[in-house]
Structure 1
Amino acid sequence: MSLNDVPASSLVSAWKDIESMLDHDPFGDDFNTAHEICSRYASEPERIALTVRHEDGTADRWTYHELDRLASKAARVFANAGLTRGDRVGGLLSRQVESWITALAAWRSGIVYVPLFGGFAADAIGMRLSAARVRAVVVDHGYRAALAEAQSTYGLDPAVFVVGPDIVESGDKSFWAEITTADSDGPLAATTRDDIATLMFTSGTSGTPKACKITHAAFVSVMPYAKSVLGATRESVLFSTSDPAWAFGLYTTGAAVMALGVQRVMYSGKFAPGAWHRVIEEEKATILTTAPAALRRLTTTFADFGVPPSLRTVAAAGEPLTASVAADWSQVGAPNVRNGYGLTEIGMLLGDTHGTESRAEPGCLSSTIPGFDTFLADRNGTPVEAGEPGLVAVRRPRHQMCSGYENTPSLWAERWRGDVFLTEDRAVIDADGRWQILGRDDDMIIASGHNISPVEVENALLQHSAVAEAAAVAYNDPARGGVVRAVVVRNENTYSDRELAADLKHLVARRVGPYAAPRVIDFRTELPRTEVGKLRRAAVRELPTD
């Protein structure tokens, strides 16, 4: 048996351990997300559920009891607006308590919650609202203009509840004014594990965003990650920096840890390393979860101001964690970064779990998350030979995030090979069982007959002291054919472009191989990224060469 073969008995045991932490049987006739992550703790009036810190240093705190009461009132508001079970309510919000009140109110009522990222342009908002058939929207006043443009372009007329001081658009209602006057008797729906709780659109780095049907038991699928990687307990204080418009913020570091009764902290302002450091220190956060791109900027702050003594766990996900970022971070004396890999469709599959520290290595993932049978496969779903790269694949688990793509069911069917879900990410497993994500399958670079991982090239480029960010993509050179192109963001100007380009070619040749050395190197002030900070390789490929 290889290091990554998982006995069926251990899979069952892992899920039963998680299910024992729930209030209700997920396979029973009554299983509801709002109950499991909030209402069950409402009888403990002093248990803090959420702290929201603001740019001015102030903080607002809500207990599980208060969130449950406000969600009940919001559910009554939605019912008064004519929404019934199965209807959709959108949340054009951000890292604010209203995101959670809206979601909890929808879930307890059997209404489907549709989270929308505040950074979306009007067309992106309108497309999603139209596709989801949303009947009501709770919107922060800062995003109201974009919503109005989306309504006009797509001919949408949902009920609109505005979070903010002023009502500008005719027909809008104040979210908080409606809640204040509402009774705390919002409808309770007897949902099951398979009922849809959330319709979440993927971030759309390539192709049309897919509408993932997230079920009421979806949060259970990421509880193993919360326990085995984050080490979350009732005594934890988790600082989650991810926006709850996305799966990692709403479920992985949201609902999954709330189901454990954990206290969470969010920061409502824009990313500022100094502000995050202050929040961790003053709130005595024990767990920090963020994206690798943010860790790079936080490293200097932690080096200058020290590591907050309360911090025990740092976890990164959302994009590949490079060895250079992880190594630089550990040098400031902070807890080593626990890497993670997952996807909205299934959940968190890989990570640096507790107990595997001895084989942890920067830029790799040390283990499969308990409960999942994850392996590498070819495009047919057949396991590849040991040591060979392949697509990350997972056999159908007992619990998973998504039950299908509502807007593209045929594409959902294409992702499965029998009981095996095939991702679009390539990886390799070393002899010690460590996983390295090589990048999306359609991002692989073919040059001189070699299959080249863009992540490997980027890891090498980032070893240079003058490089802040780097992206590697395929480029069709008129004279040489397919070659590697690197787009680099500097962090210093000590070198001329020609000198730095020569250094970088030599560095990649030495660390990866001469065949992988970039033949084209361009310098930019920033790289194109999605709203959640993921690199947009398609946009990088479209950048003009120097």
Structure 2
Amino acid sequence: MSSGDVPASAMVSAWQGIESLLDRNPFGDDFNTAHEVCSRYASEPERIALTVRHEDGSADLWTYHELDRIASKAARVFADAGLTRGDRVGGLLSRQVESWITALAAWRSGLIYVPLFGGFASDAIGTRLRAAEVRAVVVDQDYRPALADAQSTYGLDPAVFVVGPDIAEAGDKSFWTETSNADADGPLATTTREDIATLMFTSGTSGTPKACKITHGAFVSVMPYATSVLGATGDSVLFSTSDPAWAYGLYTTGAAVMALGVPRVMYSGKFVPEAWHRVIEEEKATILTTAPAALRRLTTTFADRGVPPSLRTVAAAGEPLTASVAADWAQAGAPVVRNGYGLTEIGMLLGDTLGTESRTEPGCLSSVIPGFATFLADRDGTPVEAGEPGLIAVRRPRHQMCSGYENTPSLWADRWRGDVFVTEDRAVVDADGRWQVLGRDDDMIIASGHNISPVEVENALLQHPAVAEAAAVAYEDPVRGGVVRAVIVRNESLYSDNDLAADLKRLVALRVGPYAAPRVIDFRADLPRTEVGKLRRAAVRDLR
């Protein structure tokens, strides 16, 4: 179905089916994320929740019982540090168990979790910590220097708990020493599905990144994706490669899957195709979730080493899946990629759902996710004519991820047209109901699964004395896929183009993060602008 005219009975039935999988009534007065995704299974001491694989081949196994107990101890640590219900605790972490312990501890005790990507530079960290008014941070020791710079620049003084053997800053405490010594009696708050559980920043094209208020009922919104696209069942093992600093890692392939009692696997090391292949094979993973950029590099490894026999489902999201990547992957003998589309504000809206295999096609999405009335609209939220491109829109669903932007409430209101949420993504639907996402309407850059604000990149570029003007846009590289392209107007200087390009890549990596560093840099005499001087980004993208 490709319009918003989904029968009300079908919508109700879809959500009732999902709600029947929960332990408590989501519309009741006691509904908590930590309970639904962990504590409810804690009475089964042998039930595996998470396996963390490391670069040296070792593995740490965590049961639901163990996670629940350590989260209770961590909640006691936060309480003893003076945090009370509604306070914010940050996690400057990565694909490691501490991300989940910190999140669970916050959720169960009524604190608000603020996940931060380990690849952020100090400015990005400081901006978000200040906007969220974070009172405590759990930080991996690898990211402690960036946090220290952010604290100094932005005048921040949170309680800091370091994961790792070294304590470099005065006043820091060891996360594991504190939790080991604490009693497992941390506060247990009574929350409802409307209460805020997480504050997650999603970058926009201008101004401060938007602080999405993710509620305790948010994970329910992505459970239909977990069941209808991932096909997660009791005998599944899911290898989740997305960082839990983002919604896809923390909720879509994290909390929603844990709520089903499905064991998950994470890899703590850097992306190496051969290492991922080994993890899938040795852990007997049945589901792989990743970004298309990773599939591009995994294809050769799977072709050379064979497809692990346990693997049944491969799902991609986070950036457009091109037909060429999907076709090359299928030729390696791997399961056909199940494409998905969603956004932090609402949840996963489109995907290659079970039962629609006959109309799947590389680069397209075969169906609307059950429970959502998704359609194409103009900016006013009015459905477009059949066959015409439009903005992806969705009628207010029974469950959604976000309840608003904490720091920009007017922008949240602007995204709604009555009960219709209009995204900034343009798509078209063919006669067979297949969706093709054409690109972001708001100029957001999507590279290697990361949403990158062009303004953040441009602000970093303009710090260089040899740069007079700068524009950052998306660019489709034939090898790397989606990357950042920078178009620069130079000041007179002694820098050669090559030397300046190298400097600019380092500068963006330092100020925003390595993932945002431009892969393509061009130099021009001027940038295309409107009569009033506004940058014409579409024209910048068309520059050759």
RCO higher in 1 or 2 (8 Å CA, sep ≥ 6)? 2
Aligned to 2:502: none
Aligned to 2:453: none
Rate the CA distance shift 1:165–1:375 in 2: closer, same or farther, 3 A: same
Aligned to 1:307: 307
Does the 8 Å contact 1:4/1:433 carry over to 2? no
Secondary structure at the residue paired with 1:269?
A: coil
Shift of 1:168: 1.2
Secondary structure at the residue paired with 2:523?
A: coil
Aligned to 1:544: 523
Question: Mapping of 1:266-285 within 5 angstroms?
Answer: 266-285=266-285
Aligned to 1:168: 168
Aligned to 1:505: none
Does the 8 Å contact 1:77/1:179 carry over to 2? yes
How many residues are paired up? Answer: 480
**Paired amino acid for 1:201:** F
Shift of 1:441: 1.4
Shift of 1:152: 0.6
Shift of 1:207: 4.5
Does the 8 Å contact 2:121/2:513 carry over to 1? no
Shift of 1:171: 0.6
Q: Aligned equivalents of 1:2 and 1:63: distance in 2?
A: 41
The C-alpha deviation readout for 1:309-338, integer Å capped at 9, x for no partner, is 000000000000000000000001100000
Aligned to 1:332: 332
Question: Mapping of 1:23-172 within 5 angstroms?
Answer: 23-172=23-172
Secondary structure at the residue paired with 1:110?
A: coil
Aligned to 2:223: 223
Q: Could you tell me the TM-score, scaled by structure 2's length? A: 0.84
Q: Aligned equivalents of 1:357 and 1:434: distance in 2?
A: 11
Does the 8 Å contact 2:47/2:63 carry over to 1? yes
Q: After TM superposition, what 4+ stretches of structure 1 lie above 2 angstroms from structure 2?
A: 1-5, 203-208, 467-476, 528-533, 539-546
The C-alpha deviation readout for 1:109-139, integer Å capped at 9, x for no partner, is 0000000001110111111110000000000
Shift of 1:204: 4.5
Shift of 1:437: 0.1
Q: Aligned equivalents of 1:470 and 1:242: distance in 2?
A: 17
Shift of 1:472: 10
Q: Aligned equivalents of 1:323 and 1:473: distance in 2?
A: 22
Q: Aligned equivalents of 1:442 and 1:66: distance in 2?
A: 44
Q: Aligned equivalents of 1:99 and 1:125: distance in 2?
A: 16
Q: Aligned equivalents of 2:87 and 2:486: distance in 1?
A: 44
Aligned to 1:254: 254
Aligned to 2:178: 178
Shift of 1:235: 1.2
Secondary structure at the residue paired with 1:177?
A: helix
The C-alpha deviation readout for 1:232-254, integer Å capped at 9, x for no partner, is 01211000000000000000000
Question: Mapping of 1:311-460 within 5 angstroms?
Answer: 311-443=311-443
Does the 8 Å contact 1:443/1:473 carry over to 2? no
Rate the CA distance shift 1:154–1:417 in 2: closer, same or farther, 3 A: same
Where do 5+ consecutive residues of structure 1 fail to align? 445-453, 477-524
Does the 8 Å contact 1:110/1:191 carry over to 2? yes
Secondary structure at the residue paired with 2:134?
A: coil
Q: Aligned equivalents of 1:238 and 1:532: distance in 2?
A: 28
Aligned to 2:242: 242
Shift of 1:205: 5.9
Shift of 1:468: 5.0
Shift of 1:108: 0.2
Q: Aligned equivalents of 2:320 and 2:2: distance in 1?
A: 25
**Paired amino acid for 1:107:** W
Q: Aligned equivalents of 2:480 and 2:219: distance in 1?
A: 35
Secondary structure at the residue paired with 1:135?
A: strand
The C-alpha deviation readout for 1:199-256, integer Å capped at 9, x for no partner, is 0001446553100000000000000000000000121100000000000000000000
Alignment RMSD (CA, Å): 2.6
Does the 8 Å contact 1:292/1:325 carry over to 2? yes
Rate the CA distance shift 1:96–1:474 in 2: closer, same or farther, 3 A: closer
Q: Aligned equivalents of 1:375 and 1:305: distance in 2?
A: 41
Does the 8 Å contact 1:240/1:265 carry over to 2? yes
Shift of 1:6: 1.2
Q: Aligned equivalents of 1:164 and 1:123: distance in 2?
A: 23
Where do 5+ consecutive residues of structure 2 fail to align? 445-472, 489-504, 525-543
Q: Could you tell me the TM-score, scaled by structure 1's length? A: 0.84
Q: Aligned equivalents of 1:241 and 1:319: distance in 2?
A: 14
Q: Aligned equivalents of 1:75 and 1:285: distance in 2?
A: 32
Aligned to 1:9: 9
Rate the CA distance shift 1:151–1:24 in 2: closer, same or farther, 3 A: same
